[in-house]
Amino acid sequence: MNARLRKRHLIFWILILIILPIIMIRAKINIPQQPIENKTYSKINEQKPFLIKESNDLKNGLKFNFRGENKNQISQLEVILIKPLKDASSTLFELNYNDEKGTFIGEMNETGVYRFPLKEQRLYGVLIFDEIKKDVVIKKVFQWD
């Protein structure tokens, strides 16, 4: 390498050293945090309160169980993912009464049982949303008596 090329390498690495850490750190700290009351924390995740209502969507390999316990004021949505979702990024949101994406509930990856704490014992519906494609994967409205 001659002096010109060495200088060019140096400029590239100084720029990389300045720019990339900013992007890396800002990208990580700007991820929207879940509202604290909606976090799937381990304590409630281990709890399995009484079943209030079940609603199945077997075509998409999903079972929704609403669980709750008045004594301890626990409301929980149990989602059983029987078969994997096709989308790489699947996040669960409340469906509000305008049929639009509401509050973030949690993330789902592989098949299994997911338990999410809820503010109320009833939900109008849920949306499974692909954050990468910005696309609704599954919309589910619950029928309540």
Q: Which residues bind another protein (CB under 8 A)?
A: 1-3, 5-6, 8-10, 12-13, 15-17, 19-21, 23-24, 26-28, 30-32, 83-84, 86, 88-89, 107, 109-111, 131-134
The pair of three-digit structure tokens given for residue 33, joined into one six-digit string? 């945090």
Closer CB to another protein, 13 or 41, in the complex: 13
Closer CB to another protein, 66 or 129, in the complex: 129
Facing residues of 138 across strands?
Answer: 128
Shortest reach from residue 129's CB to another protein, in Å? 11
Question: Where does 14-124 show beta strands of DSSP type E?
Answer: 50-57, 62-69, 74-81, 90-95, 101-108, 112-117
3-state class (DSSP) for residue 141: strand
Closer CB to another protein, 70 or 111, in the complex: 111
Shortest reach from residue 48's CB to another protein, in Å? 22
Shortest reach from residue 126's CB to another protein, in Å? 18
**In angstroms, what CA-CA distances link 101 with 53, 75, 105, 130?**
22, 20, 11, 12
Helix boundaries (H) for 30-96: 42-46
Closer CB to another protein, 110 or 145, in the complex: 110
Shortest reach from residue 108's CB to another protein, in Å? 11
Q: What does the CA dihedral 115, 44, 27, 14 come to, rounded to 10 degrees?
A: -130
Closer CB to another protein, 72 or 132, in the complex: 132
Shortest reach from residue 109's CB to another protein, in Å? 8
The pair of three-digit structure tokens given for residue 145, joined into one six-digit string? 């008596």
